[in-house]
A and B are shown apart, each in its own frame.
Chain A
Amino acid sequence: MSDDAVIEMSGVAVANPHGSGIPLVSSVDWRVARGECWVVAGQQGSGKTTVIETAAGLRPASRGEVRLFGEPLPSPAGEAMARLRQRVGFVFEGAGRLFPDLGVAENIALPLRYHRHLTVAESAAELRPLMEAFQLERFANLAPGRIGRAWARRAGLARAMASRPELVLLDNPLEGLDPVHLRWWRGFLAELVHGHPWLGGKPATVVIATDELRPLLGIGTRFATVDGGRWKVLGDRGAVSASDDPAVRELMDERN
């Protein structure tokens, strides 16, 4: 267990959160070092989301040990876990799971207002650069249901970034995006890996779950797959390109 490890999972099994408790993915041995960008690929329903949710401490592991920032995960409802979660940004699949009773700006400001006791005006001033960088100013006062899915996902990303996390986990961020949004997201992810201005130019540790490897091949530095309940670390880009594993080739969209 070295000091620069951000996520460490050893012998971890994860179960379907809506199922019978039968392991969905077994024996996950994974170490994410500071500054790495991991791409976890797998078909829909393979369990990649559950693996990254478990790594973020959002779901308990059925077996094995999970450590975040070198420490075992504390009790889910305690203050220690709340503090730990402020160091982690999690971007959910789809429309970002924004809270429908809050406006877009209120959604993004919520973690700052809750943890740092800021007023609406203070949080708005602090988040202005983020809203501008994410081109969300014109949606600030709208309800999440009144903006497009791609914009809602971007707002979900902004909410996860609001507390300037050290570790960012994204669940299928490029799914179903039009070319303009896709270009923006790829640019953002590349910037996040190399150092985003919002994070003071410091490279973040990033984990991206995806069902398509190709768009993320130029962004990720380390790759793993979840296939048939098995966790497999592939290695770097070269290892992915050279892999003759049919599952990897399928995820690279090279079936035809």
Chain B
Amino acid sequence: MDTVHIQSRSVSVVSFAAIRARAAGATLRRLVAFTLISIGTLATKAGKSPQVMRPLMIEQVFRVGVKLLPIVCFLGITLGIVIVGQTVTVLQTVGAVKFTGMLLVTVVIRELAPLVAGLVVLARVGTASVIELATARALGEVEALEALGIDPIHYLVVPRVIGFTVAVATLTAHFVLLALVSGYAFAFARGLPLTLTGYFGDIATALSWADFPLLALKTSLFGAVTGLVICYQGLSQALRLEEVGAATTRTVAQCVVGCLCIDALFVPVYLLL
């Protein structure tokens, strides 16, 4: 009896996993289709209606980027003290100070900064944007745009995706600078024998020229994926009030998974540098 019970249980676990995998596959297909439509719209309507579109894009950059600058600066300073300051201190203690630059480039510049900027944007603006778009959809604003001959993808999605892309990239740059400076300040305050030129010289030596375009690409992709998932979840279906919470949770999960997958794709590239 026990064997039969365990077998039926394992079958149900397998079938549950299969159902979940199929659902994830279907969501991924729809997301890819939405992404392709958005890219197509961006390409074909790039210069259309600048009088209307430019202010929308500036508003999104301001909302996602400029308004989040204080919190990203705060995180940059605190995480700089916590991670960079401690790392430098430990490396000094164990006599491995020559690895400072390499370690900070790998941990802070390549990995931590893009993830922190992406997560802050997602948490502070992303979830609110899903609710905003879902409400717009539920109140028929999408149909109202269509009735006026305005492409909802062009009007609602493109400015947001551009806003998120620019914001994550620029916030990452701010985070990197503040984390490195505050980390050095912490180490200096602790009286470690580390000169400013030596510290930044180590980092500059560990950096490759390819790091700059790669960081720009990675952060832009984080922002674009976040923006696209948010717009997809907000606009793909008319949500009832009780469904908005679940859509927000799905958005957070899908954005995190998407960003980590992109992050993983960059690992072999970084290993080649």
**Which A residues form the contact surface with B (CB < 8 A)?**
18, 53, 56, 58, 76-77, 81-86, 88, 90, 92, 97-99, 110-111, 113-115, 117-120, 159-160, 163
Contact = CB atoms under 8 A, between A and B. Distances in A.
Contacts of B41: 77
A76 B145 CA distance: 12
Interface of B: 37, 41, 49-52, 139-141, 143-144, 146-151, 153, 155, 238
B149 A83 contact: yes
Contacts of A110: 52, 148, 150
| The 7 A-B residue pairs with the shortest CB-CB distance in the complex, in nearest-first order | A85-B149, A97-B144, A90-B147, A82-B149, A111-B148, A114-B49, A114-B52
B149 A86 contact: yes
A83 B149 CA distance: 7
Given A86-B149, A110-B150, A111-B150, A117 B144 contact: no
A99 B141 contact: yes
Given A82-B150, A97-B143, A113-B51, 11 more contacts: A77-B151, A85-B147, A92-B144, A92-B147, A97-B139, A99-B141, A110-B148, A110-B150, A111-B148, A111-B149, A117-B50
Contacts of A97: 139-141, 143-144
A98 B148 CA distance: 11
Contacts of A86: 149
Contacts of B139: 97
A124 B140 CA distance: 26
Contacts of A90: 147
B140 A114 contact: no
Contact of A159 (B49, B143, B148, B153): B148
A115 B51 contact: no
Nearest to A160: B147
A39 B37 CA distance: 38
B143 A58 contact: yes
A139 B109 CA distance: 51
Q: Is the interface of B mostly helix, strand, loop or mixed?
A: helix
B258 to A, nearest CB: 24
A83 B49 CA distance: 14
A101 to B, nearest CB: 9
Contacts of B50: 117
A159 B144 CA distance: 10
Contacts of A53: 143
Contact of B151 (A82, A113, A163): A82
B54 to A, nearest CB: 11
19 contacts: A18-B238, A56-B147, A76-B146, A82-B149, A82-B151, A83-B149, A86-B149, A92-B140, A92-B147, A97-B144, A98-B144, A110-B150, A111-B148, A114-B52, A114-B155, A117-B49, A117-B50, A118-B51, A163-B149
A232 to B, nearest CB: 27
Which of A18, A82, A90, A163 is the most central at the interface, judged by chain B CB atoms within 10 Å of its CB?
A82
A97 B135 CA distance: 12
A90 B150 CA distance: 13
A76 B148 CA distance: 12
Contacts of A81: 149
A37 to B, nearest CB: 20
A159 B148 CA distance: 8
B150 A77 contact: no
A111 B150 CA distance: 8
A125 to B, nearest CB: 14
B149 A115 contact: yes
Contact of A113 (B37, B49, B140): B49
Contact of B52 (A58, A83, A88, A113): A113
Nearest to A53: B143
Contacts of A113: 49, 51-52
A84 B37 CA distance: 21
Nearest to A95: B139
A114 B146 contact: no
A110 B53 CA distance: 11
A119 B51 contact: yes
Nearest to B139: A97
A144 B16 CA distance: 48
